[in-house]
Amino acid sequence: MEWAGGLDNPSEMARIAAAVGPGGRQKVMVRVVPGVSAGGHDKIRTGTEDQKFGLSLTDGGAQHTITRILGQPRLELTGLHCHIGSQITEVKPYLVALRRMIGLMARVRDAHGVVLPELDMGGGHAVAYRPGEAALDLTSLARRLRTELVDGCAAAGLPVPRLAVEPGRAVVGPAGVALYQVLTVKHTGEKVFVAVDGGMSDNPRPALYGVRYAPRLVGRHSAAGPRTATVVGRHCEAGDVLASDVRLPGDVRPGDLLAVPVAGACRLSMASGYNLVGRPAVVAVHEGTARLLVRRETLDDYRSRDIGI
């Protein structure tokens, strides 16, 4: 499968064409803003006009850019792309965006006689971080997207393009578990703080987006009754909270291990070296066998980049 670069800004056309060079041709897709607001937090809603992503349908920016691409001999326009947000729990926003994308494809056909063969509807499919939370039904999404695509293209007199989606979060999220070691347990008035050896450096999502996880004790069985606790990280700010007001065994103590399920997506990819806390190791586990994929980051890794004053 050949790669098609995503074009997000008209200024990128000249740069891509220059990189291709004389006699070359690069396949590209245009990222479109369909004007659909969807997502679990305002910071991850990317399908509206007030965002930095894509080219507008409303002001004609998308169609104008498409016209310019079709006039550039070093670029080959293969289709359209959109991504309306993340942690989306309903199918409807995708259907609204799909209808608008089909409408643009029809206008391109009418204006230029070009039928685009590909349509990428992005990802952002919600997963349940805690029991009882809503997740997007991918089977329903696939079925309804396909029906809407076939019906919409038939109404517009278009052949059905190859439809792509990007289910990264839905696939990787539930496959990952974060393990933390308890460092201290602190009682402050009626609050119980369980401090662990990680925090917002390896998972900034609770601080950024208010994501709520459900950590649990692993590695030993506890007969103690549950109590409400807040799991915090080791960093120097009050916002370093991994899970607020969760139920944990009353005898959680230093040295215990806490597992945070559904931690595979958009976590380590956002990790930093805040407070010089190294990023954790990554281990693959399959059928009872563990294999180290990425070693733990050390202080020496940070020092190796220092070149002196």
82 given a catalytic annotation? no
Closest CA to 161 of 84, 102, 96: 102
Question: Which residues 6+ apart lie within 8 Å of 83 measured at CB?
Answer: 31, 46, 47, 53, 54, 122, 123, 124, 166
How many whole angstroms separate alpha carbon 31 and alpha carbon 151?
23
Show the tokens assigned to 58: 């409303």
How many whole angstroms separate alpha carbon 42 and alpha carbon 65?
27
How far are the Cα atoms of 96, 141, 237, 266, 289 from residue 293, in angstroms, in the given order?
40, 33, 31, 17, 13
How far are the Cα atoms of 98, 174, 243, 259, 286 from residue 289, in angstroms, in the given order?
43, 19, 29, 18, 5
For the annotated catalytic residues, the residue numbers are 236
